[in-house]
């Protein structure tokens, strides 16, 4: 096998996934034989008499199925391209060409299109220039457009033309053109996609397979176990195929902290997981990687997914834990004498602290708790003098010196009560954890720290992580996030937490999960809102788009919950019976657990199995049933179809979540509610339904 190189295309995985299980088993047997000896006479090769590519062959799986492959005899490279019924497989290959682009170095597979005869121009062509008229033919070839398809790009005038051209253009060339029409600089596009491979195209297939842009579509599977793992989950392509930008970020050496931003579906967590694998593979026996995120359920999901791509040795060097759990465990080992409390206990303590001062305060409800968390604990303030001098950017209530002294009295009472009751809130415990670490300067249990969902961490969390990482060193902190998905109202300016990412910030632009129609609808929910880049500057969504298309989200309004539920059940059954969509690929999402319970009961009463995705367990796709999840719990997951139910006024935005008299706090709460809906919408890969009854949410229109 050492004399051969066998690569599998992403299209082959797609075709394989569409086969029946029994047929997949026979294809797997074929692939095992093929890997051991791709020249075995038993494979029954048949050269395809194609006028477009002489490298194409078919190989026999059984009486019904054929594999389409490309073979370069001089380099002993074999590319598995497609598998299907005999006639369908030959039809798929009829106009295909497999070639190394001489301008980019990328290995491209595309349909050859004959240039049509000159025809009269359409109305659109008469009234406006072609979409890519601003690019020369040389520019187009530099962007990966094969010379024989330049005419196709020149004929693009409308959005419809552009989407149709995607069927014929190589994937990398289409992405390059998509960036170009969004105003990205030509050299920047070439760097993003092709990097050092640009201009190195006069090579054979073997060299092209080593280029990052080719690895977006082809993978060389070395071992039998690796092959079985990949084929057992053919739709989980993130395990194998990475965009060139994703691969470079996962494997780059950074001289200090690095930050990666990107909209929903751009693969930030995928990059973070592959980076964890990459860093772990370079760790010595006593070195470890910490992979942390904001919630317990996300940490569990990430741990399960890391097991799919890491060796046992790599997994042994990676610790996955959400930050609160890490803090609790660390403090316990330090003989910490306090109990960390949350929500109701803490709210009651604040009311008690106010009463102990014996004064009346004209502040909005929840003001003291919010001020304590976002100002005092966020910046590690310990004295009234520090508080008087502190900046309170983003806080809605203005305070003069006298006001701050009065507010500090409540803080002092609160501290006294916490000490008396031997409890701490999460923010206070985090700061005390940081102080304990500073007292142990030689304690550095992790060589690398990776932070997922970085937008949900506050200032105190990043100060703690910076302290835990120790002095700045290569690849110390790797942060991925997106302020558009901030659903916990924590804000951060990394530079104020001693996390300097200047010159080491990157952005992912391509949404691989949702269709462009769903992405655009979800972004519309956030129209007019400015989002930060986690470091005090405004974020930009320039170039953020999906490359797949489908139906726009469907919004339905009903007179009663019974009518809504009846429609929901009808949709679910139709998708399962007519579209053959498995129930596990559908998820019903509601704002809260209480709201969700009504729909859960109705589905079960209708004879449908349900599987509730809870905080303390992962989404096990081996378990049958329609998925149920709250908007918070669905974060980090994806489904073919998502039903967002109970979109009534009072449910979304949730009345209790925005119930404050502080204008600033109310605005932040409204943004968080919109971001929550944005997160829920972008869990869907192909279809989204939003429904409610009575008066609908102000976030949707019918």
pLDDT above 70 as % of the chain: 97
Q: Where are the domains of the chain?
A: 5-102+212-237, 120-193, 242-322+443-512, 339-421, 553-693
The token pair at 279 is 């860093």
Distances (CA, A) of 368 to 256, 269, 374, 403, 473: 36, 35, 10, 12, 38
702, pLDDT greater than 60: no
Decide if 5-102+212-237 and 242-322+443-512 have a common fold: no
- pLDDT-derived band at 478 (thresholds 50, 70, 90) equals very high
Higher pLDDT, 565 or 391: 565
Cβ within 8 Å of residue 87, ≥6 positions away: none
Q: Read off the pLDDT of residues 353-376 as tens digits, 9 standing for 90 and up.
A: 999 998 888 888 788 988 898 889
126, pLDDT greater than 70: no
Q: Read off the pLDDT of residues 569-618 as tens digits, 9 standing for 90 and up.
A: 999 999 999 999 999 999 999 999 999 999 999 999 999 999 999 876 77
Which string of DSSP letters, residue by residue, matches 421-471? HTEEEHHHHHHHHHHHHHT-TT----SEEEESSGGG--HHHHHHHHHHH-S
Residue 541 class from Cβ within 10 Å (0-12 exposed, 13-18 middle, 19+ buried)?
Answer: middle
Residue 623 class from Cβ within 10 Å (0-12 exposed, 13-18 middle, 19+ buried)?
Answer: exposed
**Averaged confidence pLDDT in the chain:** 90
- Report yes or no: 593 and 630 within 8 Å, Cβ to Cβ: yes
Q: Read off the pLDDT of residues 619-646 as tens digits, 9 standing for 90 and up.
A: 888 899 999 999 999 998 999 999 999 9
512, pLDDT greater than 80: yes
Q: How far apart are CA 271 and CA 277, in angstroms?
A: 10
Domain 242-322+443-512 superfamily per CATH: P-loop containing nucleotide triphosphate hydrolases (3.40.50.300)
3-state secondary structure of 275: helix
Would you put residue 622 in left (φ > 0), alpha (ψ -120 to 50) or beta? alpha
- pLDDT-derived band at 1 (thresholds 50, 70, 90) equals very low
Closest CA to 583 of 554, 608, 551, 613: 608
Helix (H) or strand (E) holding 477: strand 477-481
Q: What is the CA radius of gyration of the chain?
A: 28
Give the bridge partners for 108, in sequence order. 99
Q: Read off the pLDDT of residues 23-58 as tens digits, 9 standing for 90 and up.
A: 999 999 998 888 888 888 888 889 998 889 999 999
Cβ within 8 Å of residue 395, ≥6 positions away: 371, 374, 375, 664
Report pTM: 0.88
The token pair at 358 is 């014996």
Domain 5-102+212-237 superfamily per CATH: RelE-like (3.30.2310.20)
Q: Read off the pLDDT of residues 56-89 as tens digits, 9 standing for 90 and up.
A: 999 999 999 999 999 987 778 999 999 999 999 9
Which residue shows structure tokens 């809260």? Answer: 592
2, pLDDT greater than 70: no
Task: CATH number for 553-693: choose from 3.40.50.970, 3.40.50.10860, 3.40.50.300, 3.50.50.60.
Answer: 3.40.50.300
Average pLDDT over residues 679-689: 96
Average pLDDT over residues 323-329: 93
394, pLDDT greater than 90: no
Q: Read off the pLDDT of residues 256-315 as tens digits, 9 standing for 90 and up.
A: 999 999 999 999 999 999 999 999 999 999 999 999 998 888 899 899 999 999 999 999
Q: How many CB atoms lie within 10 A of CB 561?
A: 20
pLDDT of residue 469: 95
The token pair at 610 is 């349900």
The token pair at 33 is 């034989």
3-state secondary structure of 584: helix
Alpha helices (runs of H) in 290-343, residue ranges in sequence order: 296-309, 312-316, 323-333
């Amino acid at each position: 096998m050492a004399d051969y190189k066998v690569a599998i295309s992403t299209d082959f995985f797609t075709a394989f996934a569409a086969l029946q299980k029994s047929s997949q088993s026979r294809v797997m047997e074929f692939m095992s034989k093929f890997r051991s000896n791709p020249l075995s006479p038993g494979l029954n090769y048949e050269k395809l008499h194609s006028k477009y590519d002489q490298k194409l062959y078919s190989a026999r799986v059984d009486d019904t199925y054929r594999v389409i492959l490309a073979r370069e005899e001089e380099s002993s490279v074999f590319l598995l391209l497609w598998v299907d019924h005999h006639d369908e497989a030959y039809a798929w290959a009829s106009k295909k060409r497999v070639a190394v682009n001489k301008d980019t170095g990328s290995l491209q597979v595309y349909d050859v299109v004959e240039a049509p005869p000159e025809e009269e121009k359409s109305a659109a062509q008469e009234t406006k220039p072609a979409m890519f008229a601003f690019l020369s033919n040389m520019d187009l070839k530099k962007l990966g457009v094969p010379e024989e398809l330049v005419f196709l790009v020149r004929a693009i005038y409308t959005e419809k033309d552009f989407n149709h051209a995607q069927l014929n253009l190589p994937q990398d060339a289409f992405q390059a053109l998509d960036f170009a029409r969004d105003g990205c600089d030509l050299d920047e596009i070439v760097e993003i996609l092709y990097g050092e491979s640009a201009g190195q195209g006069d090579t054979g297939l073997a060299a092209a397979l080593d280029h990052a842009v080719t690895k977006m579509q082809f993978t060389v599977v070395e071992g039998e176990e690796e092959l079985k793992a990949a084929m057992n989950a053919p739709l989980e392509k993130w395990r194998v195929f990475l965009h060139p930008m994703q691969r470079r970020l996962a494997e780059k050496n950074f001289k200090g902290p690095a930050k990666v931003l990107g909209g929903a579906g751009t693969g930030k967590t995928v990059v973070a997981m592959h980076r964890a694998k990459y860093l772990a593979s370079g760790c010595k026996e006593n070195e470890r990687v910490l992979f942390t995120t904001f919630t317990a359920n996300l940490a569990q999901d990430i741990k399960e997914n890391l097991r799919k791509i890491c060796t046992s040795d790599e997994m042994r060097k990676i610790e996955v834990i959400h930050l609160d759990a890490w803090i609790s465990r660390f403090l316990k080992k330090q003989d910490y004498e306090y109990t960390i409390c949350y929500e109701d206990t803490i709210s009651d303590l604040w009311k008690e602290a106010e009463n102990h001062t014996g004064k009346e305060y004209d502040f909005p409800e929840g003001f003291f708790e919010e001020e304590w968390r976002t100002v005092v604990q966020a910046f590690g303030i310990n004295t009234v003098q520090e508080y008087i001098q502190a900046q309170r950017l983003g806080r809605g209530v203005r305070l003069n010196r006298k006001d701050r002294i009065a507010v500090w009295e409540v803080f002092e009472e609160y501290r006294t009560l916490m000490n008396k009751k031997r409890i701490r809130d999460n923010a206070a415990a985090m700061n005390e954890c940081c102080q304990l670490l500073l007292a142990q300067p030689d304690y550095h249990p992790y060589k690398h720290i990776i932070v997922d969902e970085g937008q949900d961490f506050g200032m105190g969390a990043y100060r703690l992580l910076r302290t835990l990482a120790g002095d700045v060193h290569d690849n110390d902190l790797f942060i991925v996030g997106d302020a558009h998905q901030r659903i916990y109202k924590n804000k951060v300016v990394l530079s104020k937490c001693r996390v300097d990412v200047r010159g080491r910030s990157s952005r992912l632009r391509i949404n691989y999960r949702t269709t462009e129609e769903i992405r655009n609808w979800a972004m519309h929910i956030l129209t007019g809102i400015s989002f930060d880049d986690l470091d005090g500057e405004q974020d930009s969504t320039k170039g953020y788009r999906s490359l797949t298309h489908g139906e726009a989200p469907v919004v339905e309004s009903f007179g009663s919950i019974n009518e809504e539920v009846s429609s929901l059940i009808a949709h679910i059954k139709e998708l399962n019976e007519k579209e053959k969509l498995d129930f596990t690929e559908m998820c019903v999402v509601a704002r809260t657990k209480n709201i969700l319970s009504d729909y859960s009961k109705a589905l079960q009463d209708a004879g449908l199995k349900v599987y509730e995705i809870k905080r303390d367990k992962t989404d096990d796709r081996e378990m049958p049933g329609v998925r149920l999840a709250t908007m918070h719990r669905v974060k980090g997951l994806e489904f073919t179809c998502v039903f967002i139910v109970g979109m009534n006024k009072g449910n979304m935005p949730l009345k209790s979540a925005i119930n404050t008299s502080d204008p600033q706090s109310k605005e932040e709460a409204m943004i968080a509610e919109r971001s929550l809906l944005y997160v829920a919408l972008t869990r869907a890969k192909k279809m989204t339904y939003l429904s409610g009854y009575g008066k609908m949410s102000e976030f949707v229109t019918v």
